Structure 1
Amino acid sequence: MVDDRFNHFRIINRVLEKGMPVLTPVSVAIGVWMAERFSNFASAVPWLFAVISFVGALGLTLVDIRERLRRPLAMIVTLFILQILMPLIALLVGMLLFDPMTRSGLVLAFSIPTGVMSLMWVTIYHGNKSFALAVVFIHTLLSPFFIPWTLRWFIGTDIPFDVGGMVWGLLWMIVIPSLLAISATRYTPKVVPMMKDVLSPIAKLHLILIIMINSSVAAPFIRSWDLSLLYIILTVLAIALSGYGLGYVGARLLKLDESMRISMVYTCGMRNIGAGAALAVAYFPPPVMVPIVAAILFQQVLAAALGKWMRTGRTDQSLIGRGTT
């Protein structure tokens, strides 16, 4: 039974969902415009991410995730796209078009773990949350091994970064809040619907804040705009689109249902850009960060636009179906 006490939260949530394709580019613009203010809140991003992970996992159970692992083909294909095909595409494009520094940035940008934010977009567009959570969960846990291996084999770089620190950061942002949400679903099932009603709009506001904060990182590059930067941005955009496209094609070839297609599209297309930026700053010369900053500019805008496109496609198919009955 729906609790009318939380109806205003549900209304706000629906308004935010419908407005995300507009709010996302506006948030990017505000982040760049007010970079000096938003960059001061970079330390809050892990906490904001944690809330999003918690809300995205509410209502899920370990049984849901276990069911996904019993039929692992979609998971294997998704991880193959994420960790083999996409870095390879980035490497080949980089070899054809760019200098070694930019090429390294491209490979790094498409080697980092699938984005925590994919959970939010999967939730907004009614994808399969248990599959998306399982992909993020497993890819994050494997990333301390995947990332050094990928960089070593694709660009000949062996990064001696703090594996323990990175694992803890990713566990704190994704794994721990997700496990807390799954525990809440199991032990307090009557409270979960109310929690979702209240926290869903808050999580979307957190998403908007994260976009603004991440965009503030890109501000210095935007303000020194030139054609070479535009060239890099368009290249990163094209490679990112190929990630979404490969996810869609993979889901179609596997004959997955609509909710699984949505989840596979987002988990294959999105990356944890914050983690990539941190690695680039800590272990590479500044030019390596440029492709990652380029991805910050449009990742959320692209996710919103593709979600709107998929939703429009579903509406059109529904209308066609009604017309033929």
Structure 2
Amino acid sequence: MLSFFSYWNRWLGQHMFYVVLSALFFGFITPVETTKFWSLVATLSFTYMTFVSSLETSLKDFFRTLSSPWINIWMLVLIHGIMPLIAFLIGLVFYPGNDFLRLGFLIGASIPIGVTSLIWSSMLGGDVPLSTVAVTLDTLISPILLPAFIAIVAGKSIQIDSVQLLVGLLWMITIPSLLGMVVHDFTKGALDKYAKSLGGFFSKIAIFFVVFINASAIAPEIKWDHEIIKLLMVILIISISGYALGFIGSFILKGHQRDRMVTMIYGVGMRNNSLGLILALAYFPPAVAMPVTLSMLYQQPLAALIARLLTPKQGAEHKTSC
């Protein structure tokens, strides 16, 4: 039975691009109403994916990464320093007279790391402890960093529900990650086969549901007309720039390693767009929220495309690790 799920886990890992695209497609043509039930499904899916991703990681590796924070600091500089500057310059080139859209680009480039970066990093053989620490640190500093950033850029004071952010982080990232690493050490890696077969298979099904639910949420917000084509192209450029910045940034670090490179690509390239959308809609006109909303169309497909590009260049052991 495990061999059956192991085969389909590998197959899905090699075809995640189509899994993500199909989830987006069904989310747009058959959207479900955003309710507490579907929010719970998304949260539980995230929690399960994080747990499975951590089953192959030692708790000792996590604390080793935590005790050497310079790589994480460099990632945060790329995310909250260089990437917003790139987004600002791109917005200035294509929309010099539209302050709202340029602000939307800035907010979209400045929000915390997306939690799914941990999942993609794990599937591609990335540094899971590094990814976990990066997501944790970024979310912890966001209640302080984001209000300060928006106050400087937009001259507008906002308040972020830091308690809600931290609770969401604990349930979706910190607790399942630590639990998975503790189980790994306690069983001495005995559940690696589960993570690469049954557990990995259902984690990829969980990714489908997460993308489907997010697509359903943004579908009513998008009006498909001729004016949106240019905006889509600009957002695509910014989205690609984020992944490219993570790739380039990994070569600046001493002792370049593939697993670190994978983690930086997804850590710098993926954002918590749900948080960005909530902020934009709560404090600014709808035009500011449009870039953040539309960026959801690209984030997961680009992540899957990058996985497709990275996988053939590596050995079979790197095709999937879930």
TM-score w.r.t. the length of structure 2 is 0.88
Does the CA-based 8 Å contact 1:88-1:154 persist in structure 2? Answer: no
Q: Does 1:55 align with 2:60?
A: no
**Equivalent residue, structure 1, for 2:303:** 303
Q: Does 1:25 align with 2:21?
A: yes
Change (3 A) 1:199 1:283: farther
Shift of 1:170: 2.3
Amino acid at match of 1:14: R
Amino acid at match of 2:46: F
Distance 1:173 1:90 in 2: 28
Does the CA-based 8 Å contact 1:31-1:38 persist in structure 2? Answer: no
Q: Does 1:281 align with 2:278?
A: no
Shift of 1:191: 4.9
**Equivalent residue, structure 1, for 2:203:** 203
Does the CA-based 8 Å contact 2:101-2:291 persist in structure 1? Answer: yes
Q: Does 1:78 align with 2:75?
A: yes
TM-score w.r.t. the length of structure 1 is 0.88
Shift of 1:190: 5.5
**Equivalent residue, structure 1, for 2:8:** 12
CA offsets 1:196-229 (integer angstroms, 9 cap, x no match): 233211111111111111111222244x212332
Shift of 1:195: 4.2
Higher relative contact order (CA closer than 8 Å, sequence separation 6+): 2
Amino acid at match of 1:67: R
**Equivalent residue, structure 2, for 1:264:** 264
For the residue of structure 2 that corresponds to 1:65, the secondary structure is: helix
Distance 1:135 1:269 in 2: 13
Change (3 A) 1:238 1:169: same
Does the CA-based 8 Å contact 1:91-1:154 persist in structure 2? Answer: no
Q: Does 1:46 align with 2:48?
A: no
Shift of 1:64: 0.8
Shift of 1:38: 5.7
Unaligned runs of 5+ in 1: 316-325
For the residue of structure 2 that corresponds to 1:110, the secondary structure is: helix
Unaligned runs of 5+ in 2: 316-322
Change (3 A) 1:51 1:279: farther
Does the CA-based 8 Å contact 1:52-1:120 persist in structure 2? Answer: yes
Shift of 1:80: 0.5
Distance 2:66 2:189 in 1: 27
**Equivalent residue, structure 1, for 2:318:** none
**Equivalent residue, structure 2, for 1:320:** none
Shift of 1:174: 1.3
Distance 2:220 2:105 in 1: 19
Shift of 1:265: 0.9
Change (3 A) 1:170 1:278: farther
**Equivalent residue, structure 2, for 1:162:** 161
Does the CA-based 8 Å contact 2:143-2:160 persist in structure 1? Answer: no
Change (3 A) 1:235 1:303: same
**Equivalent residue, structure 1, for 2:86:** 89
Change (3 A) 1:302 1:140: same
After TM superposition, the structure 1 = structure 2 runs for residues 171-320 of structure 1, keeping only pairs within 5 Å, are: 171-189=170-188, 191-196=190-195, 197-222=197-222, 224-254=223-253, 255-314=255-314
- Of stretches 303-312 and 62-71 in structure 1, the one that deviates more from structure 2 is 62-71
Shift of 1:175: 1.4
For the residue of structure 1 that corresponds to 2:110, the secondary structure is: coil
Does the CA-based 8 Å contact 1:57-1:133 persist in structure 2? Answer: no
Give 1 or 2: higher helix fraction. 1
Does the CA-based 8 Å contact 1:280-1:289 persist in structure 2? Answer: yes
Distance 1:267 1:11 in 2: 28
Does the CA-based 8 Å contact 1:244-1:266 persist in structure 2? Answer: yes
Amino acid at match of 1:17: G
- Of stretches 296-305 and 84-93 in structure 1, the one that deviates more from structure 2 is 84-93
Shift of 1:166: 2.1
CA offsets 1:258-299 (integer angstroms, 9 cap, x no match): 111111111111111222223333333322221111111111
Distance 1:260 1:38 in 2: 39
**Equivalent residue, structure 1, for 2:130:** 131
Amino acid at match of 2:83: M
Change (3 A) 1:149 1:58: farther
- Of stretches 65-74 and 143-152 in structure 1, the one that deviates more from structure 2 is 65-74
How much identity, in percent, do the aligned residues show?
31
Q: How many residues align?
A: 309
Distance 1:190 1:82 in 2: 33
Change (3 A) 1:171 1:95: farther
Does the CA-based 8 Å contact 1:106-1:291 persist in structure 2? Answer: yes
Change (3 A) 1:284 1:189: farther
Amino acid at match of 1:306: I
Distance 2:40 2:70 in 1: 37
Does the CA-based 8 Å contact 1:280-1:288 persist in structure 2? Answer: yes
